[in-house]
Amino acid sequence: MPLIDTHPEATTSRAWWRNLSAWGGLLAVCGGFFHTMVAALERYEVWAQIVDEGFFNTVTLDPSADRLAVAEAYWFSPGSFGVPLLLLGALVTGLTRRGVRVPGWVGCGVAAWAVLLGLLGTFDSGSISLLSIGVLLAVGGWNARRAPADRTHPT
């Protein structure tokens, strides 16, 4: 008989959203999706050009002046941090739905990243949203760690 319960009980469909980490995860999913889709839609003409030219090997790390729009379209949509943010949010949401605690350091890292982006650029709506995601993840992780155990473990 193992000493550590490796299979946490899944939460009910009505209780998982009470965790602040779940809200941070949902905000990350929405933010990542929104950023990626809006950036791609704003550069629709460039993406049409990419498809016309052939999809493979159209983006370089050192673009010439005439290929700068293609590189910009790539780095603002699929090459941006919108996709990893969406995946992080999906992971956090899935973990909280299963009753697994998201570590508080994940939120601290996201918040530190948001502060760095805000200090290097400006504290716009994107960096404020990222900071909010980080704070929600950190507080949710710490609250879940400090919550009393409501499961009894056989000894």
Contact yes or no for 117/37 (Cβ under 8 A): no
Rounded Cα gap, residues 130 and 122, in angstroms: 13
Task: Give the percent of the chain with pLDDT over 90.
Answer: 48
The pLDDT value given to residue 18: 77
Q: How confident is the model at residue 113 (pLDDT cuts 50, 70, 90)?
A: very high
Nearest-Å Rg of the Cα atoms of the chain is 20
The alpha carbon of residue 93 and the mean position of all alpha carbons in its chain are separated, in whole angstroms, by 10
152 to 4, 71, 148: CA distances (angstroms): 12, 55, 11
Report which residue type is found at 83.
Answer: V
pLDDT higher than 50, residue 93: yes
Average pLDDT for 43-47: 92
